[in-house]
Each structure stands twice: as C-alpha cells, then as structure tokens.
Structure 1
Amino acid sequence: MPLRVIELVTPRKDEEPIRESLKKHHPDEDYIFWVSPLDDEDMLCIRIVLDVQESENVIDMLDNEMSFGEQYRIVVYPAQATLPRLDPEDENGEAEKKGRISREELYSDVLDTSLTTPSYLLLILFSSIVAVIGLMRDNVAVIIGSMVLAPLLGPNVGLALATTLADIKLALRASMTLTTGVIIAFIIALSVGYFFGAPMESQQLLDRCETRYSDIALALASGGAGILAFTMGVPSSVVGVMVALALLPPLASAGLLVGAGQFEEAGGAILLFFTNVICLNLAGVGMFLVQGVKPQRRREKERALTLVLRMGTLWVALLILLSVIIHYAQPAVPNAWPESFLPF
C-alpha cells in the first residue's frame, strides 16, 4: 500500500501530550514521526510517515486529542517512499488497519466531483455531445468515449458517501450536481432528436431501449467494484467500471427518442438509466459499509446508521419496483435473464 504523510501544526504546549499519544497508539515500527519548530515561536509542526491503511486511525486519534483546541491544522499528503522501510508486521495493530485510504481523503476526492462548477458543466456538455454523436452514428467507440468521461458518476458516489457519513451538506451538493447534469444532458439529446430525429436503425440506440435482469446484476457488480477501487486509492481501475456502468448513454438515448416522438422506446432507456443510478447508489453504500467507512464521533455514527437504514430501504424498494416493471413491461425480450441466462 502507498504511504502518507500527516502534518500537524499545533501550539508548542501540546507537544508532550501528542508525543505520548503517538508512542502509545502503536509500536515505533508502524510509523515514524518527528517534531520541527516553526518561525512562529508559539507553534510547531509534527510530521508522521505511515502506511495509508493506518492513516485514518492516526488522524482520528490526533483529532480527538486536539478537539478542544482551535489552533491546529492537520494536512495529509502522499509520500513516494521512505528509507529505512516501515515494518509492515504489527501483531498489535493489524486488526485496526483499514485496507483503504482514510475517510478524509475519500471525502476530499468525492467532494471535487460533487460540486456544480463551470468545469463540470462543460464536461457534461461535451460528454453529452459525444454520446449523442455516437448513438446517431451507431459507433460504439465514440459512445465508450462518453462513458470514460463519466460526468454523472461522481455525484452518485457523493450521494453514497453522504448517506454513509450522514453528511446532509454533501448529499445536497451531490444531488444538485447530479440533477443539473441530468437536465443538461437530457435537453441536449432531446434537442438533437427533435430537429434531426432518432436513427431507429442504430443498434447502439436500440440496445439501450431494453432493460434486462442481467443489467441489474451488472450495475450492482460494477458499482461495487468501482467503489472498492476508489476506496483503495487506485482511480485508474475505475475507468473500466465507468464503461461497464454507463449512465450517460441511456440518458442520451432517452432524450433522442423523446425528441423524435418515440415515447415507448424512450421509456425503456429511462428505465435503464434509473436502474443504473439505483444500483450504483445501493452498491456504493454497501461497499462503503463493508470497507468500514463511518463517521468518527458516536452521535454522528448513530445518525448515519439511521440514515443508511432508511436510504437502503428506499433503494431496495425502488430496485424491487424496477424489477417488477422489467418483468411486466418487457416479457418478450428474447435474451432476458434468467430465462435464457448463460454463465459464459
């Protein structure tokens, strides 16, 4: 696993309590730390080099130590290597290691993709145009380009993390960003469909007018895999998930078909889009819980548990409803799973 540097700036009077806490927290092999004076005579800087899996434990410990003070700042950043190497063996602390990046790093990464910024709006605009052109041309390579850009994936991950942490502010920001992106993408596709029609001979377009039970399994599996890769700090692995769990092409297909007056086919594309959104959020919340992502303080943990149960129930209920709609609205799909599902 990669390394992290935790930098703590705090008043000099807190030096000894923090030193004692760091020594008691784990044996010296788990991490190294040193203290440096600052130009300000009243402040000092403590730097800790440690495995990323251990970073959340140490950050929480430091935050608890400093929670009654106001003059402190914790900064976390990556380190490429350190010599001598840190000893990974630790019988006392192995159970505490998270196997993922810290909660604060997750929050920072998710927040960047959950805000409605000019860059995000431009990304939605360009991704929608790419997706519409790919559908109009029946060109799978162009459509994959819009999938890799994946502007709608970030806000959905933000919603899942906000549910897990009971962070209402993040949930509102992610919901607003997601809604804005959906509206823009749909309007662009609808406008193209209205003026130029929908190419009903396009196989890529027709493929997104049908939702099968296998699409639910695919969305749950790829959503869970994406969140797992995200929490381990390997975003390059998420690219494949972006392609498997496509949100923009079904939305663009729905817009094209509505604009062209093909409302029955558009209903299938809308169904596929909402199936992917629901499965991504359900898998996201589940994987965050499996990875041990939770608030730090007890009151927040209790509130988060209540919110997770409520939202989990909602997502499951919506998924069951979608399954019923798939069963009764499209009973004649020749390759529907499980009727003709093949494991290979």
Structure 2
Amino acid sequence: MSVLHLRVVTPTRSADDVLAVLRADAGVVNLVLHRGVVVPTSPGAGVADLVEADVAREAVDDVVDGLQALDLERTGSIVLESVDTALGDAVARAEEAAPGEGDDALIWEQVERAADGGATASATFYAFLVLATLIAAVGLLTDSQVLIVGAMVLGPEFGPLAALAVATVRRRRDLVAGPLRALGLGFPLAMVVTAAGVAALDAVGLVPQEFLDGRRPLTSFVASPDVFSVVVALLAGIAGTLSLTSAKSGPLVGVFISVTTVPAAADFAAGVVTAQYGTALGALGQLVLNLACILLAAVATLRVQHAVWRRVRGSARAA
C-alpha cells in the first residue's frame, strides 16, 4: 500500500473547510477530527483543531493544493508522514479510487522538501564531501577501484543537483541559493583539503611512483571524459530523480556509484600537486561534464514526470 498520513493543524473557524477538502477526495480515508486539542505555544495564539487522515499517495498533490488554498501554511500547519504498512478494505478502496500508481505520483511539496534537505550547506555536507574526496585521492594514489567506489557512495553531491533541478522546473528562485552555495563552496573546499593531503604525502615520499609516472590502469578513466561519461551521467541523473520523486532511496546508491564527480575532484587536486597538469585538466573536464549532465537529466526527467502526471490527474477529473 502506498499511503501517507496527513496531520493538519487548523484554526477552529477553518476546520469545516479542511474537512470539506478531504471529504471531496476519494483517495482520503480514516478521517479524524480532534476539536481544541492543539495547545498554543506562542502569546496570542488560540487553541486549534487537529485533523488527521490517511491519503493515497496518488491523491496527495491534489489534497495539499486544496489545503494550501485555505492559507493553512500561515494559520496552521500541514504535515505528511510516510506509512510503512496500511491494511484494510477502506485503504485499498482509497488507493483504487486515486488516479494512477503510487510510485508514479509526483508530490511537489515532498519533492521540494526532500531536495531542499539534501542541498543544505551544512558542516556535515562539507565534511562528507571532503572525506569522500580524500578517500578518492587514496584510491587514485593506490590505483584502487574499491576505494573509488567507496568515495562515490559517500559523496553527497546529488542532493544539491536535485535541488537545483527542482528550483529550475518549479521556477523557485528562493531554492537556488542553497544548492549553489553547497556546490560552489563544497567542491573547492574538498579539492583544497585533498591537495594539501596529497602535498603532505608527497613531501614525505609516500606518493607511489606508479602514480607519478601515470601508471594506473584501473583508475585512469577518472581523468578521461568521453561519450560514455555523458551517457552514464545522463542515465544516473534520470535514475536519481526517479528515486527522489518516488521516495525510494535504494536506487540512489547505484547513482552514486555510477558517476565520477568526487573522484574527478580528487584527481584534479592530486594532478595539480604532482604537476600532472594534463591529468588535472582531464579530471576537471570530467567533473564539470558529470555535474552538467546530471543536472540536465534531472530537469528533463522532472518536466516529463510533471507533464505525464498532470495528464493522469486531468484524465481522472474528466472521468
């Protein structure tokens, strides 16, 4: 069952309107009203009502649109929670009545929040990006594909790219600054720290001679962008976006492993420090190419999903 639990805090004067919105959608089930149970937490605020319901994923976007039209984001709040298991004939009927399939449903508010959360320019984000780049650098120095894969998995760069894609499709300028800051500061910081680390190893003679000679057959692809780099990055951007919009995190691991953004950043830093400028230039090209292709694919995927889901919803309303 693909169901989300909805909690709406509303002023008593708007409770009947909230109930009308929810009753009007066949994808809503288990509707509950709690009168006067929300205790005020700020001076001047009054006691409010709480409305709860379970909503088929396919119906959530319409329901949220109806609730937002009541100005509840200012006068109350709207909370959506994932439900692991939902049993019952009523739940099954709600899912059947809702248009389309749950995994195909595009819930813009949820997508925006998920992308915005992944684009937060926090200390944790920078730490993960720096650590991933350092691990990738060790993988390059030792010609270890295992470490390269580990660095790809650890890298958090897809979050800001997804947030930029959502901001582009939704035309939300207020969502652009965060991901741009995360990427614009994160990668230079990671490359500077990695360059310092490689320089320290080089100073004490711990950089393998094979790396200095350019003999690394297992990891040389990182600094060699080609047509397959474009194809893989585009496919990864599509897969990552589908994972984000369907609230399925599992496929994201495959996305992280398939693109060489973090390893390319590490290769650029290591190449500059060891005077392998051709390698550094190739790695920089790989990094820019991968970031651009992922973003392009994410934007295109969201546009297609939006068009398809709008048609599904329109057909359901006309039926």
TM-score if structure 2 supplies the norm length? 0.83
1:169–1:122: structure 2 CA closer, same or farther, 3 Å change rule?
A: same
Per the TM alignment, residue 61 of structure 1 is displaced from its structure 2 partner at its CA by: 0.9
Supply the distance in 1 between the matched residues of 2:120 and 2:307 (Cα, whole angstroms).
21
Within the candidate set 118, 122, 127, 2:132 is matched to 127
How do 1:19-38 residues align onto structure 2 when only pairs under 5 Å count? 19-24=19-24, 26-27=25-26, 30-38=28-36
Per the TM alignment, residue 6 of structure 1 is displaced from its structure 2 partner at its CA by: 1.1
Q: Which residue of 1 aligns with 2:293?
A: 279
Letter in 1 for 2:135: V
Supply the distance in 2 between the matched residues of 1:31 and 1:138 (Cα, whole angstroms).
56
Farther-moved stretch of structure 1 (127-136 vs 102-111): 102-111
Q: Is the 8 A contact 1:54 1:96 kept in 2?
A: no
Deviations 1:250-294 (A, max 9, x none): 111111111111112221111111110110000010111122189
Farther-moved stretch of structure 1 (124-133 vs 190-199): 190-199
1:293–1:158: structure 2 CA closer, same or farther, 3 Å change rule?
A: farther
Supply the distance in 2 between the matched residues of 1:177 and 1:242 (Cα, whole angstroms).
17
Per the TM alignment, residue 83 of structure 1 is displaced from its structure 2 partner at its CA by: 3.6
SS in 2 for 1:58: helix
Q: Is the 8 A contact 1:193 1:257 kept in 2?
A: no
Q: Which residue of 2 aligns with 1:3?
A: 3
Q: Which residue of 1 aligns with 2:241?
A: 227
1:166–1:139: structure 2 CA closer, same or farther, 3 Å change rule?
A: same
Per the TM alignment, residue 132 of structure 1 is displaced from its structure 2 partner at its CA by: 0.7
SS in 1 for 2:120: coil
Q: Which residue of 1 aligns with 2:173?
A: 168
Q: Which residue of 1 aligns with 2:96?
A: 89
Q: Is the 8 A contact 2:58 2:102 kept in 1?
A: yes
Q: Is the 8 A contact 1:153 1:247 kept in 2?
A: no
Farther-moved stretch of structure 1 (51-60 vs 188-197): 188-197
Per the TM alignment, residue 205 of structure 1 is displaced from its structure 2 partner at its CA by: 4.0
Per the TM alignment, residue 159 of structure 1 is displaced from its structure 2 partner at its CA by: 1.1
Farther-moved stretch of structure 1 (12-21 vs 230-239): 12-21
Instruction: Give unmatched runs, 5+ long, in structure 2.
Output: 40-45, 309-319
1:266–1:101: structure 2 CA closer, same or farther, 3 Å change rule?
A: same
Q: Is the 8 A contact 2:106 2:305 kept in 1?
A: no
Q: Which residue of 1 aligns with 2:67?
A: 62
Q: Which residue of 1 aligns with 2:15?
A: 15
1:293–1:253: structure 2 CA closer, same or farther, 3 Å change rule?
A: farther
Q: Is the 8 A contact 1:114 1:174 kept in 2?
A: yes
1:96–1:12: structure 2 CA closer, same or farther, 3 Å change rule?
A: farther
1:20–1:152: structure 2 CA closer, same or farther, 3 Å change rule?
A: closer
Q: Which residue of 1 aligns with 2:257?
A: 243
Q: Which residue of 2 aligns with 1:155?
A: 160
Farther-moved stretch of structure 1 (9-18 vs 146-155): 9-18
How do 1:295-314 residues align onto structure 2 when only pairs under 5 Å count? none
Letter in 2 for 1:34: V
Q: Which residue of 1 aligns with 2:232?
A: 218
Within the candidate set 268, 277, 296, 2:282 is matched to 268
1:68–1:187: structure 2 CA closer, same or farther, 3 Å change rule?
A: closer
1:208–1:89: structure 2 CA closer, same or farther, 3 Å change rule?
A: same
Supply the distance in 1 between the matched residues of 2:150 and 2:258 (Cα, whole angstroms).
12
Per the TM alignment, residue 56 of structure 1 is displaced from its structure 2 partner at its CA by: 1.6
Check if 1:77 corresponds to 2:94. Answer: no
Q: Is the 8 A contact 1:98 1:292 kept in 2?
A: no
Per the TM alignment, residue 128 of structure 1 is displaced from its structure 2 partner at its CA by: 1.6
SS in 2 for 1:203: coil
Q: Is the 8 A contact 2:10 2:72 kept in 1?
A: no
Letter in 2 for 1:222: A
Farther-moved stretch of structure 1 (148-157 vs 81-90): 81-90
1:243–1:98: structure 2 CA closer, same or farther, 3 Å change rule?
A: closer
Q: Percent identity?
A: 20
Supply the distance in 2 between the matched residues of 1:5 and 1:62 (Cα, whole angstroms).
15
Per the TM alignment, residue 67 of structure 1 is displaced from its structure 2 partner at its CA by: 2.0
Instruction: Give unmatched runs, 5+ long, in structure 1.
Output: 295-344
Within the candidate set 85, 89, 108, 2:113 is matched to 108
Q: Is the 8 A contact 2:145 2:219 kept in 1?
A: no
1:67–1:23: structure 2 CA closer, same or farther, 3 Å change rule?
A: same
What RMSD over aligned residues (CA atoms) do the two structures have, in Å?
2.4
